[in-house]
Amino acid sequence: MKTVERADITGIAPIMTAGKPMKRLVRSALFAALIPASPLMADGTAVFATGNTDAPLMTFYWQDRDHTRLEADGQPAHVLAIDGKAYGVVEMNGRAVAMNLESLSAILGASGDVQRLGPNTVVPTHITAFETTGQTEVVAGIEGEVYQVSWEDSNGQARMDEAVLSRNPLVGEMQRALIQGMTQAMARSTGVSGQEAASHELERRGLAVLRFADDFRLESINDADLSEATFALPRAPVDLQRLLKGVMGG
């Protein structure tokens, strides 16, 4: 039994390595949540960058708000949001295993190299000014208008950033899935919240985000059909904290 447990625990290393991209992914998803909801939903795939030029690109897949997937290029792990719950999925001993993201956040927070995915994550809470510059910018082949957005973060800090916004319906669909599916599931699992007022303001204006400062930039998007396997949980989620206690003798 201990041999199995020892082998299983080594499988946590890849998802620990993926911790920093996942943290950037959470924050970027929250910035992308500053967008409107669309009444329609179709399968699709979007690729976006998250600020750090050394960070991998993120790929987001959606079927509807209850079936979404987010992964970092080159990382051996991804996140699934299924029916309002978020799971980290990683290879262990040649098989894929799902881990509840709430437990995963606690494990990542225990690492000295990884900041906890939780309430201390800084997110936009209020938009205080919203001004068009009269300029346009093409992002992912889609033309958008350039705005100066003044906003307040969850620490009460006033900020101003440039954003490129569009009324493109496919971008609206993608970000609806990102907000109502992945982002809300992550918020429930990690305790990151507070961006609702800011997202409602852009929803009122009917605009979708193509780029927000250097935190989020759409690279590509398409509406190709996806297989059910893209969103399938490989097995019942494991309890990482219980597994660690068993291995460590706690």
Q: Where are the domains of the chain?
A: 2-248
Residues facing 58 on adjacent strands: 48, 72
Q: H or E stretch including 5?
A: helix 2-10
Beta strands in 140-227 (DSSP E): 142-153, 158-166, 208-212, 216-222
φ, ψ for residue 96, nearest 5 deg: -80, 135
**Block mean pLDDT (10 aa), the chain, length 250:** 35 42 52 49 88 84 93 88 88 80 61 39 72 96 95 84 92 84 78 61 80 91 92 75 53
Question: Are the C-beta atoms of residues 24 and 51 closer than 8 Å to each other?
Answer: yes
Question: Are the C-beta atoms of residues 59 and 45 closer than 8 Å to each other?
Answer: yes
Q: Look at the block and give the residue holding tokens 């916004």.
A: 165
The pTM is what? Answer: 0.74
